[in-house]
Amino acid sequence: MVDLTTSSYAEIEALDATALAEATALGATEHLSDAHSGRDYLLLEQELQGANPALAARTRLLEGLISVQLRSPHLDEQQVQSRIKGIYGRDNDTADFLFLPVNNASPDDLRSLGTHWSLLFADGRSRERAVAHHYDSAGHYNRSIAQQLAGLLNATLAPAPMARQPNDYDCGVYVLDATWALVGRLIGGEGPDHQLRPLDDLVADRQALQDRLRRRLPHEEEPGSCE
C-alpha cells in the first residue's frame, strides 16, 4: 500500500480528496483535469511501489499544477529553487526521474484551466547532464513552456518522438498513457542513461483510462465498509 503522506504527489501539494473521488468519471470527449491526472498517478505510484520499491523511491510523479506554479511571476528565484528542492529531495534520498504533466494555463491566473497537456520526463541520473524529454501529442505546442521548465530543473530539453492526437481533447490521455509506458520501460531496465525513448507508436486508450480511474485508491474504503 502506498503511504499517501510520503508519496511524491502528496508531498508537493495533495489534491482535495473530494476532487480525487469525483475524478473516477471521465466522459467520452471530456478534457482531463488535474484531479484525473492526479488520481491516475497515484494508481501508477501504487503499481510502481509493488513492482520495484527502489525505483519508486527514485521517481516523482508530480501534480500538473506544478508546471504552472513554477512559472508564476509572483515567485522570486529563491522561492522557485526552494520548491524545486522540495520536488527533488525527500528525507535523505534524491529523485532521479521526474514526470511532470505540462499545462499551458496562464501562470498569472491559477483559475485558468489551459487548453493543452504535454509531458516532461526529466532524467537526472547524471547530475551534470540531466535531460528533460518532452512528449507533446500536438507537436511543439508546449515547447516554449517545456524549455522554461527544463531550465528551472537544470536540465537540457530534448524533444522526444510522440504519437499525434487525432482530435482536440485527448492530449491528457496521451500524457498519462505515455507516463505508464515510460515507467514500464524503467521497470524493465530499458536503455542506458539519457537514451531517447520514442513514443511515436503510442496508442492512447481512453477506455482503459476510464477503467483505471474507477479503481479505488489505497485510502478509499471498500464499498459497504463500516470503518
Residue pLDDT, tens place only, 71-97? 988 888 888 888 888 777 654 457 899
CB atoms within 10 A of CB 66: 23
Summarize the confidence of residues 111-139 as an average pLDDT: 90
More confident residue, 186 or 225: 186
Summarize the confidence of residues 204-223 as an average pLDDT: 86
Q: What is the pLDDT of residue 9?
A: 39
Residues 6+ apart with CB under 8 A from 9: 38, 41, 42, 45, 61, 62, 63
Instruction: Classify residue 199 by its DSSP letter.
Output: B
Does residue 39 register a pLDDT over 90?
A: yes
Count how many Cα atoms sit within 13 Å of the Cα of residue 147 in the half-sphere of its side chain: 5
Residues 6+ apart with CB under 8 A from 2: 42, 45, 46, 49, 218
The owner of cell 496521451 is 174
More confident residue, 194 or 148: 148
CA separation, residue 27 to residues 154, 184, 212 (Å): 37, 26, 14
- Percent of the chain at pLDDT > 90 equals 59
Least confident of 9-18, 135-144, 202-211, 216-225: 9-18
Average pLDDT, the chain: 85
Domain range annotation of the chain:
8-213
With left for phi above 0 and alpha for psi between -120 and 50, is residue 136 left, alpha or beta?
Answer: beta
Summarize the confidence of residues 102-120 as an average pLDDT: 88
Please list the residues that pair with 97 across neighbouring strands.
59, 123
CB atoms within 10 A of CB 26: 23
Q: What is the pTM of this model?
A: 0.86
Per CATH, the number for 8-213 is 3.40.395.10
